[in-house]
Amino acid sequence: MAEAAVLGLLSNFAPYLQEEFNLLSEVREDIEYIRAEFERMTHFLRVADAIEDRDPKIKVWVKQVREAAYDTADALDMYMLRLRSRHHQSTGFRAFVHKVSFFIKTLKVRHQIASEVKGIKSRIINISEGHQRYSDIHGKKEQSSSSTHSDITWYHCRGDALLLQEADLVKELLKDMIRVLFEEVKQPLPRGVDSMDSNSLKGIINAFLQQKRYVLVLDDVWNIHAWEVLRIILPECNCGSRVILTTRNVDLASFASEEYRGMVYNLKPLPPKESWALFCSKTFKENSCPSSLEDLSKNILKKCEGLPLAIVAISGLLSTKQKSVDEWERIYNGLGAELEGNDKLMSMTKILSLSYFDLPYYLKLCFLYLSIFPEDCQIDHWRLIRLWVAEGFIEVKEGMTKEEVAEGYLNELMNRSLVQVIEVRNDGRFEAYRIHDLWREMIIAKSREQNIVTIASERGIAWPEKLRRFSIHHNLEDIQQSICFTRLRSLLVFSATDSVSILSKVASLGKDVRLLTVLDLRGTQLETFPHEVLNLLNLTYLIFAMAFIALLTKYLERSANWNIEYWNIEYVVLEL
């Protein structure tokens, strides 16, 4: 996740460094240094991002890098905005006079940015040195200690990179398979199995399966690379054997089935009757559901959406609780918190987390961003695509527009079964999506932890000191008092009520929201154009519903500073 923040920052350094006249020389040198350090960090950020949850020290370091990248972008954007607000176009001698005057008037601003950049540079140096010391100590410690097959070994490499060794995990898996196979036929294990390399272990399994008829189940295979490692052990013979492979990766299923002329079976959610039977058998054992808990049980079961894993996990939790309405209402209302903290649900959250951690870095941020939408919200295809682009999540690829790249990202999430299609157009193109309630609870927790999105309707949750993206799901009263909005980049309003108060609140923030990039007021009912938004010079995405397009056009004609990449106004019909 930190890698996405750093790469987004690196892609935007060029405009600041091109400000030769406006930047003080020492500021330019400091910005160059900061850029070089962030570039160096990207070499090992991808590995650190993938395992931060397993190592508290790495997690702290990744958070430091992420926040430093955000703060750097904030400082540089604020500097550019201050200059833009004072800059005027002119030519000839008047241009020369204005240039000198502009230089003098903005001297204070440039000294302020110099001070901020020096502070950020100092933070970057501390982050780099702290990680260097940790890598040296931790690398030596790990190399000197013994490890089991579930351990992950870190090595310090060239002082600035971390390599994750996973070959031992493959070897241990192959050894386990050999033990199971030979025990099944009551034969002694081949000599020297424990000291063999991976190729020798694969050879033993392949020879064992030759001329045998078998059913081999490979459960939860994650990607094509893993499948290619495992399929080498399968002999090519016509003995009527079968291999059953389960996966959440649609591309892998298609690849494997085409290679072996197999069939792909898309598992459907359990029907309501079977879901209820599974729920009751796990929750109440041999007893039936008490009538007083039946409605609550069905509401809880509805959140599982026919997913056996979710049903079993939640049933395991409920089976340990008192069979009282108050207790079950507490669990239902706080299901998100239960997902985070209860041992009975740990197996489910771990399996869900595996899907998340397997995502490439550029998909993790896009996936967590879905937490910005309310529960059961139908996520419009183009709305999501444009939001991703406006937020700066999409990489530039040669020969493709950013929208095309974003659609590729969305297809990847669908192929991994992380996003569900709920509406299809007549031409077969996807129109709207949603995410499973349990996925939503998990990504809300991770998004909150990494300060990706703050949701106004979350009761009893402490908001971060620096709000980056703010989503209002209900009314203005959900907004906590004494919150600092100076770092706010995105504001999305999904409530159709209290629209005037919400806009007044935005307007009253004034200079506090100058960094705002995304303003999505689609959920508000507007009867006049909110002219306050014209003061938001950093805005690149605006959406709202209104009837008076002529008024909007008049306002736009008077504003030459707007930088709108996406103009997506929805019309509403008003009864007169």
DSSP secondary structure of 212-260: ---EEEE-S--SHHHHHHHHTTS----S--EEEE--S-HHHHHHHHHHT
CB 456 within 8 A of CB 472: yes
Q: What is the mean pLDDT of residues 107-129?
A: 78
Does the pLDDT value for residue 102 go beyond 70? no
Q: Which pLDDT belongs to residue 434?
A: 92
Burial class (CB in 10 A: 0-12, 13-18, 19+), 532: middle
Does the pLDDT value for residue 79 go beyond 60? yes
Q: What is the mean pLDDT of residues 519-540?
A: 70
pLDDT band, very low/low/confident/very high, at 501 (cuts 50, 70, 90): low
Is 169 or 564 the better-scoring residue by pLDDT?
Answer: 169
Does the pLDDT value for residue 136 go beyond 70? no
Q: Could you tell me what percent of the chain has a pLDDT over 70?
A: 65
pLDDT band, very low/low/confident/very high, at 160 (cuts 50, 70, 90): very low
Q: What is the mean pLDDT of residues 313-336?
A: 83
User: What is the residue-averaged pLDDT of the chain?
Assistant: 75
Closest CA to 205 of 238, 184, 229, 181: 181
Token pair, residue 574, equals 């008003």
Q: Which pLDDT belongs to residue 457?
A: 67
pTM across the whole model: 0.73
Q: Which pLDDT belongs to residue 131?
A: 62
DSSP-derived 3-state class of residue 544: strand
Does the pLDDT value for residue 509 go beyond 80? no
What would the pLDDT profile of 406-430 be if each residue is shown by its tens digit?
999 999 998 888 898 999 988 888 9
CB 365 within 8 A of CB 4: yes
Q: Which pLDDT belongs to residue 172?
A: 80
Does the pLDDT value for residue 575 go beyond 50? no
Q: Of 91-95, 350-354, 507-511, where does mean pLDDT reach its minimum?
A: 91-95
Q: Which pLDDT belongs to residue 165?
A: 40
Q: Which pLDDT belongs to residue 573?
A: 30
Q: Of 394-403, 456-465, 522-531, where does mean pLDDT reach its minimum?
A: 522-531
